[in-house]
Chains A and B, each alone.
Chain A
Amino acid sequence: MSNKYYHGLTKSMMFTIILVSFTPLLTITFLAGYQYSVAYKSRVVAHLRELVLKHDQSIDYYLKEKTAEIQVLAAVEGIENLKNEARLEALHNSLLRHHRADFVDLGLVNSKGIQVTYVGPFNLRGANYADAQWFKNVQEHQIYISDVFLGLRGVPHFIIAVLIESEGEKWVLRTTLDFIAFNTLVEDIRIGETGLAFIINRKGEFQTTPRKNIINEIPFLKKLAAGKNEFSGLLHRRASISMKINPATGRETIFVISPIKSGNWLMIYQQDVSDAFSDLNQAKNIAAVILLFGGVAIVVMAYLMSRRMARKVELADIEKGIMNEQVIEAGKLASVGELAAGIAHEINNPVAIMVEEAGWIQDLLAEGLYVEDNEREVLRALNQIRSQGIRCKDITHKLLSFAHKIDPTIIRVKLNDLIYEMAELCEQRAKYANVNIETSLADNLPEIAASPSELQQVFLNLINNAIDSMDPKGGELDIATRFESGVVVVSISDTGCGIPKSNLSRIFDPFFTTKPVGKGTGLGLSIIYGIISKMKGEISVKSALDKGTVFTIKLPAAEAE
């Protein structure tokens, strides 16, 4: 297992955690955010619309009320009273008393446009309105409310004029309404930083003083009033709403437009979208910040957690590796025990010979060295002791080479040598079991990358099993190696008792054994399986009852150096 593997594991765990945490978070955030913003926007818009509706009503009402007042005056007083300046003044005072300063002045204009009587702060008696637009209009419409204009007095104002017909002559009663009082009606609409309301006439002239300098917007408003731009669709219904880029400011702006004064004026409320929805934007910002911090926290947590988990997995793997080694070690001890029987016998024989020979020498010495050819006999005996000693040494060496601790270090192994060694080690046992070991090893065999002591374990186990299956009737044990399409194949075939079909699928299971209690651990084949699969090799078995068993191991050849 390489570091890379655990890095990959960390990454995949991290991405899974992040994905799983972010998906619901983002889904909820966006869904709820969308719902909230839609609801919030519609509420804001509805509120603005309500506001404008209310104001346009109250303005219309204001104008109507003032007009009605003048009409009542005109109707009740009659021309004679109106011509009387003192009477007119009394009327004006009464109006002032009851309407505060709304009615600035009051005047009567004759059919030629000359103001015959006038009450008010300006000296306008005798003023000639024959050419004034309102004078012409009132002749046509009976009642006329003018736009705001400077007029003769040079102060913004607007007038209400009522046509009175008396004895075939046409008079006009006109009053000037205080622009400031009127203005406050509209100016009261203040929302946020940019929200403002104003009234323009169809020529785009302001009828109120806008709270802010919006001179830049005048060309745009002129077009709007004339119905010549994209907003013109809004002019026909009351309090229609649009959210478009305001060409004057370049910002997205909410427009609420309502025609008033029979469509002569337009009440316009405008507010930057960003300002109107500033609470929403703030909420959005808060959500974004929370999302950002939450996201960072999730990512950090995911990273830390997956690293910790990968570390734990790594530790578990290491532990597993250690356990595996211990199991292999235990299995080896078991097979060493099995070996020991054969080996002890093998050692005992030369030792017995040596003891005998030594005894023989003693016998001869007791007889005297120079009797007959005793001297030569002693020399022969000594040579025999020597050669038997060497035999002992060979056996112990063979055993030692196997019995050292299992070393999982992977090196390049010449498989033939290893198999030969193992076959030799088992020779003695095979002899007593009347088993004939044959090896047919291919000489073109490439080296393989493996741990030699683990491989020894594999072959010793398989050879021991094969011998067990043939003991005591005897038989043939063939170990063959060959090189086949890049794979080293070793087959170990015996002519033993075979494995019943019902057991074939279980032979690699740990602790599966058919031997009596105390004879086998049932670990051998499972350890072999573990070792072979660790080397990315394959092990397969074919068996026929009483005919024999063939184990085939396929191992990948080592890459060329």
Chain B
Amino acid sequence: MLATILLIDDEHGFIDTMSKRLSKRGLTVYTAYNGQEGLESLAKYGAIDVVVLDVKMPGINGIDVLKIIKTEHPLVEVIMLTGHATVESAIEGMKNGAYDYMLKPCEMEELRAKIKEAYLKKQSQETKIYEARARHIELRRGD
């Protein structure tokens, strides 16, 4: 699995270490320290598959960032990361199209598994899109 992910959280120490650990596990990891930065990174590095997004952040909060991601990069899967007190907002995020949510602090393996699932989902969707396009081209040929 060679997914490319983006971590967005205002806690530097948290995502710095997490990115190290995920990198060690073969993932390509980008980090952003707030929502704005994250959106910019998404635009900059087109290859990002999965975003791990903190719900509570100063500036644009997680839910708003999610909404923007889902409109601008509909294929990108988002995993919400949240403290216990904001589980409701994480669920709110799911309603807005997030793949899943996780509670802080999170188990590395669990996170990896979720990222993998999300990545696979994205892959399958992309595949479906390719197939659809191919069929479309085929159909066009058949004109």
List chain A positions with a Cβ less than 8 A from chain B. 340-341, 344-345, 348-349, 351-357, 359-360, 363, 381, 384, 388, 431-432, 434, 472
Contacts and interface: CB of A to CB of B under 8 A. Distances in A.
B105 A355 contact: yes
Given A348-B104, A354-B105, A363-B24, A472 B17 contact: no
Contacts of A345: 56, 83, 85-86
Contacts of B21: 356, 359-360, 363
B57 interface: yes
B74 interface: no
Contacts of A354: 105
A158 to B, nearest CB: 131
Nearest to A381: B17
B61 interface: yes
A360 B17 contact: yes
B113 interface: no
Nearest to B18: A356
Contacts of A360: 17, 20-21
B83 A344 contact: yes
A353 B83 CA distance: 12
Contact of B104 (A352, A363, A434, A472): A352
Given A341-B86, A345-B83, A349-B14, 18 more contacts: A341-B85, A345-B56, A345-B85, A345-B86, A348-B85, A349-B11, A349-B104, A351-B105, A352-B105, A353-B11, A356-B17, A357-B17, A359-B21, A360-B21, A363-B24, A384-B17, A388-B13, A432-B56
A353 B56 contact: no
B106 interface: yes
Contact of B83 (A348, A357, A381): A348
A356 B106 CA distance: 8
A356 B83 CA distance: 15
Nearest to A342: B85
B46 interface: no
B11 to A, nearest CB: 5
A356 B14 contact: yes
Contacts of B104: 348-349, 351-352
* Secondary structure type dominating chain A contacts: helix
B61 A352 contact: no
Contacts of A341: 85-86
5 contacts: A349-B83, A349-B104, A353-B105, A434-B58, A434-B59
B132 interface: no
A356 B59 CA distance: 25
A505 B114 CA distance: 53
Contacts of B14: 349, 352-353, 356
- Nearest first, the 4 A-B pairs at minimum CB distance are A348-B83, A352-B105, A355-B105, A344-B85
A472 B24 CA distance: 37
Interface string B46-74: 00000000001111010000000000000
Contacts of A356: 13-14, 17-18, 21, 105
Contacts of B61: 432, 472
A171 B142 CA distance: 195
B84 interface: yes
A153 B68 CA distance: 156
Nearest to A435: B58
B127 to A, nearest CB: 32
B58 A431 contact: yes
A381 to B, nearest CB: 7
A345 B57 CA distance: 10
Given A349-B11, A353-B17, A472-B61, A359 B86 contact: no
B43 interface: no
B108 interface: yes
A104 B86 CA distance: 139
Contacts of A363: 21, 24
A436 to B, nearest CB: 10
B20 A348 contact: no
Q: Which residue of B17, B21, B61, B86 has the most chain A CB atoms within 10 A of its CB atom?
A: B17
A345 B10 CA distance: 12
A353 B85 contact: no
Q: Which residue of A353, A384, A434, A472 has the most chain B CB atoms within 10 A of its CB atom?
A: A353
Interface string B89-115: 000000000000000111010000000
A357 B61 CA distance: 25
B13 A384 contact: yes
A382 to B, nearest CB: 12
A161 to B, nearest CB: 139
A496 to B, nearest CB: 17
Contacts of A384: 13, 17
A351 B105 CA distance: 6
A359 B108 contact: yes
Contacts of A431: 58
Contacts of A432: 56-58, 61
A515 to B, nearest CB: 16
Nearest to A429: B56
A295 B83 CA distance: 76
A248 B18 CA distance: 128
A340 B85 contact: yes
Contacts of B56: 345, 432
Contacts of A353: 11, 13-14, 17, 105
A97 to B, nearest CB: 138
A34 B134 CA distance: 127
A348 B13 contact: no
A353 B20 CA distance: 13
Contacts of B17: 353, 356-357, 359-360, 381, 384
Nearest to A387: B13
A432 B34 CA distance: 11
Q: Which residue of A356, A431, A472 has the most chain B CB atoms within 10 A of its CB atom?
A: A356
B115 to A, nearest CB: 15
A379 to B, nearest CB: 14
Contacts of A340: 85
Contacts of A381: 17
A355 B104 CA distance: 9
Nearest to B15: A356
A354 B17 CA distance: 10
A425 to B, nearest CB: 16
Interface string B18-58: 10110010000000000000000000000000000000111
